[in-house]
Structure 1
């Protein structure tokens, strides 16, 4: 197999930790120069946020791309280009994992449950949400499975619908549950700075 496995890459990454607001914030710097930031609930070790940032061709830091947690909404008046705002009734897609599953919520989907179908497209390594009324279509991948090079299983996928929100759940494979437990042990060994300030600084 080419290159180190994902758990090996995590172990090799330079990590700094901050504690604040009931969260443990971990910043990872990989050999490739890529950065990952995660936030965990201190009490439950629940992953709240995971985001990525890469340097561009000129060596400047790009903007953070959110993988888990609330998508970043632009600050009011942040820039003129934000004049074309998304309607507040548009579907909002976000990922919020639980201890044993990957979970996505798509808010502002008012149609009844029998309108939706959620399937695994193994050849494309993605999940697809469709509606029989052709009002919504969404394709998304599960980066965790790609990083661990694990197959996608239709049997792991389920969904429910409540309060205008479609909730899609994919049971985490055993390999990932074990790796996450190991990672938590590693992260607890990092001496965390107590800090209310959000972002981890890198040199």
Structure 2
């Protein structure tokens, strides 16, 4: 089963944990050289961010791809061209029971939005009836575990110029996350500043 193979990959990966600012930061190094970095809230065990990086074609380090959390892209002061702050911002922020995406700076009324699941394309699509916004995105957790997408698990709401799309996590994902959290709590994490540095 695919859920089991992803679970096995996570168990086989070399893991390093660091505890800092009330967050458990875990770095995974998979056998193929792919890296994954996750941050969890220490109190709630909620996933705050997940980033993935693969080797480039020439074998160097690729760029980090943000899967969960804010991108955190910051421009240097010397750069003059930057994205308009009123443009829609798409990001993923999960809860304990659902995958959740937020589209900020999108002020249209709720009946303007149409959010659908495309099981054959393995993606979700956000459309507006006024044709001002269109976004196609996949649910990478379901793709990795090769679980089907179901329209009944999808819901959305709109408040404060933010469209919130929720997809209820299947029981297989919930079980995998609980198992993973038990494993992560067994890891001995070092606190920031506790790193043993050798002097010359």
Provide TM-score, normalisation by structure 2: 0.93
Alignment pair present for 1:139 and 2:136: yes
Counterpart position of 1:175: 172
Structure 1 residues without counterparts, runs of 5 or longer: 198-203
- Return the alpha-carbon distance in structure 2 between the equivalents of residues 96 and 72 of structure 1: 14
Contact 1:19–1:196 under 8 Å retained in 2: no
**Cα offset, 1:196, TM superposition:** 6.0
Q: How many residues are paired up?
A: 193
- Return the alpha-carbon distance in structure 2 between the equivalents of residues 172 and 57 of structure 1: 34
User: 1:66/1:143 Cα in 2 relative to 1: closer, same or farther (>3 Å)?
Assistant: same
- Return the alpha-carbon distance in structure 2 between the equivalents of residues 66 and 44 of structure 1: 21
Deviation string, structure 1 residues 119-149 (Cα, Å, up to 9, x no partner): 0001100000000000000000000000110
SS of equivalent to 1:38? strand
Structure 2 residues without counterparts, runs of 5 or longer: 195-200
**Cα offset, 1:75, TM superposition:** 3.4
Say which is worse superposed, 83-92 or 130-139, in terms of deviation. Answer: 83-92
Counterpart position of 2:183: 186
Runs of 4 or more consecutive aligned structure 1 residues displaced over 4 Å after TM superposition: none
Alignment pair present for 1:20 and 2:17: no
Alignment of 1:43-122 (within 5 A): 43-77=43-77, 80=79, 83-122=80-119
Contact 2:75–2:82 under 8 Å retained in 1: no
Counterpart position of 1:123: 120
**Cα offset, 1:76, TM superposition:** 2.8
**Cα offset, 1:72, TM superposition:** 2.2
